[in-house]
Amino acid sequence: MALKIAVIGAGFAGLGTAYYLSKTGHQVTVFEKDSQPGGLAVGFKNSKWSWPLEKHYHHLFTSDTAIKSLADEISHPIDFYRPKTSTFIDDQIAQLDSPFSLLKFPQLSLPDRLRTAFGLALMRFNPVYKPFEWFTAKKYITTLMGQASWQKLWEPLFIGKFHDYADQISAVWFYGRIRPRSASLGYPRGGFLSLAESIQSAAKKNGANFIYNKSINNISELSKFDKIVCTLPTALFSKISGLHYPPLPGLGAVNLVLALKKQFLTDGTYWLNINDRNIPFVCVTEHTNFIDPSHYAGDHLVYVGNYLPKEHKYYTYSNTKLLEEFLPFLQRINPNFEKSWISRSWLWTTPFAQPVVLLNHYVPPLTTSIPNVYLVNIQQVYPWDRGTNGAIELSRKVTELIC
Ligand SMILES: Cc1cc2nc3c(=O)[nH]c(=O)nc-3n(C[C@H](O)[C@H](O)[C@H](O)COP(=O)(O)OP(=O)(O)OC[C@H]3O[C@@H](n4cnc5c(N)ncnc54)[C@H](O)[C@@H]3O)c2cc1C
């Protein structure tokens, strides 16, 4: 019998849920507070560009099988490339994206490079995540890779990303970042917004209905539905359902996006980790060193990224104020860089971008204590780090649970 099912949110979890449930013949209605699909992976478009750009940098790994198989099923191509990842350390850019580049990495001694490679390999080739729940990432790294590796390579990134939580992050979060990582990175043709629109079209063909600019403030608004699938972060779900969950810490994101007349990372680096904590951002990501600038009318697109607690002052800044603050640091990375290179800038913020995974981490279940109400969200992708692939994987799981 076809059930009437409401889905709250048209991010990748909501889109996947709408697609899979409508495919099995259920009558699905999606409610989304924004005006378009995509959620955290949504894009924006300058009038000259042929492709939209994500507000926050996004790519896929070759191990992201759930989203790849959905994209295949609906004939939306995902292209894979081998862009360069590097680290800004001691005022130099050093490539660091393969065992070979690690073995050449000048900022660590040879024994420390070998220990670091061993600690990473133990995560890469181990299919079992459970033992990593017993200790922190710091403990794992200092014990296996050594103090120098922690202090030079990892600690600046943990502080940059997790701030006061840096020493307490579970080793399982680190495992979830290292194990699925691939050197080749994928990007949906036309961008993540275009893939989101393709999933929406496929769900619509199955009879799903999408209602945009509609915020659900209480699940009682959906009482005419047989089942409800909520894809909001747990704290928001608590608000609209009245259910209580243990506190789940998280951080927001602040991304300054620059459209430049010239290439910024001239060695071709796509992803630059910033290992210097005197610099007030954690990564510089040159999207057009990954995806051809011809899709963006020749603009060179650069993200200057940060994960921050929601009370941080940068959430109150304008793009021009943040740019003024970042300018001297961008010039340290590329001494030739001038303000005149910038043709446009945007500032995108989101209050919830990154779950903080500590020891004894609590993962909310898909079922809730309200019958026929399900929760599918970014905090359940565990042991993997959050991502669009995890969102699609969970949407398949909740569909199996309902059908
Ligand atoms: C800076 C950054 C970088 C990232 N990098 C990557 C990456 O490289 N690769 C990758 O795969 N993933 C990446 N991610 C993560 C990825 O974007 C998310 O994991 C994924 O998009 C989450 O999808 P979701 O559907 O679970 O949640 P969301 O995308 O948050 O979707 C929830 C939806 O619900 C809507 N909503 C909220 N409240 C209401 C309401 N009351 N009523 C109705 N609708 C509501 C929201 O508008 C939103 O559209 C990144 C995220 C960020 C922030």
Instruction: Give me the tens of pLDDT residue by residue for the chain, a chain 403 residues long.
Output: 899 999 999 999 999 999 999 999 999 999 999 999 999 999 999 999 999 999 999 999 999 999 999 999 999 999 999 999 999 999 999 999 999 999 999 899 999 999 999 999 999 999 999 999 999 999 999 999 999 999 999 999 999 999 999 999 999 999 999 999 999 999 999 999 999 999 999 999 999 999 999 999 999 999 999 999 999 999 999 999 999 999 899 999 999 999 999 999 999 999 999 999 999 999 999 999 999 999 999 999 999 999 999 999 999 999 999 999 999 999 999 999 999 999 999 999 999 999 999 999 999 999 999 999 999 998 999 999 999 999 999 999 999 999 9
What Å distances lie between residue 63 and 66, 77, 123, 179, 222, CA to CA? 9, 16, 15, 9, 37
Residue 35 phi, psi dihedral angles, 5° rounding: -95, 0
What is the best residue among 8, 15, 58 to mutate for testing ligand 1's pocket, by most ligand atoms within 8 Å of CB? 58
Strands 27-31 and 78-81: unpaired
| pTM metric for this prediction | 0.96
Spatial separation of the C-alpha atoms in residues 14 and 231, rounded to whole Å:
6
- Protein residues with CB under 6 Å of any ligand 1 atom: 8-14, 31-34, 39-41, 56-60, 215-216, 231-232, 236, 253, 350, 353, 377-378, 386-389, 391
Atom index in ligand 1 nearest the CA of residue 394 equals: 26
The domain segmentation of the chain, as residue ranges, is 4-43+192-246+364-402, 98-178
- Is CATH 3.50.50.60 correct for 4-43+192-246+364-402? yes
Lookup: tokens for 259: 């459209």
Give just the sign of the alpha carbon dihedral 178, 179, 183, 186: negative
Measure CA of the first residue to CA of the last residue in the chain; give whole Å: 10
Q: Kindly report each contact of residues 308-313 with a partner whose C-beta sits within 8 Å and lies 24 or more positions away, as own/partner.
A: 308/163, 308/251, 308/252, 308/253, 308/254, 309/163, 309/251, 309/252, 310/251, 310/252, 310/351, 312/252, 312/254
Specify the residue with its C-alpha closest to ligand 1, atom 14: 387
* DSSP labels, 355-374: E--BTT-----SB-SSTTEE
Q: What tokens were used for 89?
A: 């350390």
Kind plus residue range of the DSSP H or E element containing 271: strand 269-274
